[in-house]
Amino acid sequence: MLHIVDDEEVVRDSLSWLASSRAIPATTYDCGAKFLAYVEAGQFDPAGDCVLLDVRMPDMNGVAVFDQLHAHGLAQRLPVIFLTGHGDVPMAVDTLKRGAFDFFEKPFNDNDLMDRVQEGLARSQQASAHAAVHARLATLSSREREVLDLILAGKMNKVVADELGISMRTVEVHRAHIFDKMQVKTAVELAGLLK
């Protein structure tokens, strides 16, 4: 999902149309406060999302919205592309240093912007998948982690049992739990997931 935050209706409409031309679902907000209200409502999941954020808006500017995304721990997983009609190089450099995905000056090249949006959406999906794998890893017990490490080293159940001083049946049970928790069916699939 592309979130378009801009106080100018004509810009929001134009960006929505551009997104739809690339089959990117988009939603618009006429101010930063409305976007933040959506984020803070508790139903926002940034997986696979990207934000086009106007720098200069009345009430709350784009940089303040970006700061709030940081405060919610979302700025790392949610690519933010700033849009500005007033070229401000120091501001662009600062936002990029603080984790903004990109910075475009109006008027911008439509294709370049949408290409960058698609890159942002792909990055967001990758970050989400990476976070999901780490969340699954966190569910493993310390013994399951030991078994996992030995499985990833290519060791057979008998060798794992000998190295850990446990029965082969216990290794099989741990292995089944690991595969279940990591949502894989084979050791090869597990290795691919954790590479």
What does the pLDDT look like over 153-175, one tens digit per residue? 999 999 999 999 999 999 999 99
Q: In Å, how far are 16, 20, 31, 110 from 9, measured between CA atoms? A: 10, 16, 11, 17
| pLDDT for the residue 81 | 95
| pLDDT for the residue 87 | 65
| pLDDT for the residue 51 | 95
Q: What is the CA radius of gyration of the chain?
A: 22
H/E run at residue 81: strand 80-84
Look at the block and give the residue holding tokens 């984790």.
99
- Give the residue from 140, 151, 51 showing the smallest Cα distance to 101: 51
Tell me, yes or no, if the pTM score tops 0.85.
Answer: no
| pLDDT for the residue 135 | 86
| pLDDT for the residue 106 | 83
* Candidates 3.40.630.10, 1.50.10.20, 3.30.70.1350, 1.10.10.10; CATH matching 139-194: 1.10.10.10
* Positions of the chain with pLDDT under 70: 43, 87
Residue 32 phi, psi dihedral angles, 5° rounding? -65, -35
The average confidence (pLDDT) of the chain is 89
Q: Are strands 26-29 and 2-5 parallel, antiparallel or unpaired?
A: parallel
Q: Token pair of 7, please?
A: 């106080």
Convert the pLDDT of each residue in 56-90 to its tens digit. 888 888 999 999 998 888 877 789 999 988 767 77
Q: Are 83 and 104 in contact (CB under 8 A)?
A: yes
Handedness of CA 56, 110, 108, 118 (dihedral sign): positive
Q: Token pair of 167, please?
A: 């029965």
Taking the C-alpha atoms of residue 104 and residue 54, their distance in angstroms, rounded to an integer, is 10
Taking the C-alpha atoms of residue 84 and residue 103, their distance in angstroms, rounded to an integer, is 8
Class of 2-133 in CATH: alpha beta
Domain ranges of the chain: 2-133, 139-194
